Amino acid sequence: MFEAVSFYLFAFLVIVSFWIAVTTSQALYALTALAAGMILISGFYFTLGADFLGAVQIVVYSGAVLALYAFGMMFFDTTRDVKEKNPNKLIVGTLAVLSAILAIVILGAPIVSDNIVALYPDVESVGNIQEVGIVLFTKYLVPFEVAAVMLLVAMIAGIVLAGKKMDISLTKLSDEEIEKYKREELV
Amino acid sequence: MEIGLNHYLVLATILFAIGLYGVMRRKNLLMLFFATEILLNSVNIGFAAISHYYGDLTGQMFAFFVIAIAASEVAVGLGLLIVWYKRHNSIDLDEMTMMRG
């Protein structure tokens, strides 16, 4: 009963906020609606017993990703309306529906074939966070490390792309050019 | 009324459709990133629901990796977007036609 109430409440709120995020012409409304939707999605994770995933959703999405987007929006004029050119609504709608049907087929295919076996079944008597830790650091250790390296690469890329004067490579410059840059910074 | 796996899958599909609609509709690059986040989140809901109803943690693991990839996508994408904005003073997708796509 309560599960049904929470499911329909969260589903309604998430759909409404994501719809606002997609259709509004104000960039700030889109950002806030997206943040609301991200936090509301974690409600599903808590309902589904994936506590750690819900916490990560709040911390990473609502905290880091949306703070980054808010930072990115400081570069742009957010007061003016976002202009959207929409040549043919029919094509867009048809493509969206077709892709959604494709997605449901993809998600439904393993359910139709009834021979799913749980690879890493739930362990009794430990909570969700312990389970996640056990599976993540045994079976998924290599993908975990690869993801860590990927995040490091992304961090360096972000710093180099957004930082000031980081596009100048000191190793490729001659001594005179380095001296010139030094003098420019002092002035 | 019992909430089953299909409820969650239908919800994930609705959110995926909303995200796709946004991706095809938006011409502003930042708004396009918002729509991609919606796509990734809808898939995560599907993973978490399957993980719960089959008693299998693999779905949650995939959701974690999707979140990690989304975070790095945002970092690199926003960096590129800032560079583009500094050079061209606009993030309109219609003006990014250097490759004549």
In-domain check, residue B96: no
In-domain check, residue B54: yes
Of residues B9, B3, B48, B20, the one with CA closest to residue A98: B20
> pTM of the prediction?
0.81
Contact A75/B at CB under 8 A: yes
For residue B35, the chain A residues in CB contact (below 8 A) are: 21-22
The residue in chain A having the minimum alpha-carbon distance to the alpha carbon of residue B94 is A85
Q: CATH no. for residue B11? A: 1.10.287.3510
Residue A79's alpha-carbon distances to A75, A96, A155, in angstroms, are 12, 30, 30
In-domain check, residue B72: yes
Q: What is the biggest distance separating any 2 CA atoms in chain A, rounded to whole angstroms?
A: 75
Size of chain B in residues? 101
Q: Please write the tens of the pLDDT for every residue from B46-87.
A: 899 988 888 888 888 999 999 999 989 988 988 888 888 877
Size of chain A in residues? 187
Task: Give the range of the structural domain holding residue B10, as residue numbers without chain letter.
Answer: 5-90
Q: Please write the tens of the pLDDT for every residue from B24-35.
A: 888 788 888 889
* Residue B91 near residue B84 (C-beta atoms within 8 A): yes
Contact A30/B at CB under 8 A: yes
In-domain check, residue B100: no
Q: Please write the tens of the pLDDT for every residue from A125-175.
A: 677 788 888 888 888 899 999 999 999 999 888 888 877 665 666 666 777
Identify the pLDDT of residue A77. Answer: 63
Q: Which residue has the higher pLDDT, B98 or A180?
A: A180
In-domain check, residue B99: no
Alpha helices by DSSP H, chain A? 2-23, 27-47, 51-56, 66-73, 89-112, 128-136, 141-162, 175-186
Strand partners, B56: A121
Closest Cα of chain A to B56: distance in Å? 5
In-domain check, residue B98: no
- How many domains is chain B built from? 1
| Count of CB pairs separated by less than 8 Å, A with B | 218
CB contact under 8 A, B52 and A50: yes
ipTM higher than threshold 0.85:
yes
CB contact under 8 A, A150 and B69: yes
Identify the pLDDT of residue A68. Answer: 83
Contact A150/B at CB under 8 A: yes
Contact A2/B at CB under 8 A: no
Please give the mean pLDDT across all residues of chain B: 84
In-domain check, residue B97: no
Please give the mean pLDDT across all residues of chain A: 80
**Amino acid occupying residue B68:** A
Identify the pLDDT of residue A169. Answer: 64
Identify the pLDDT of residue A18. Answer: 93
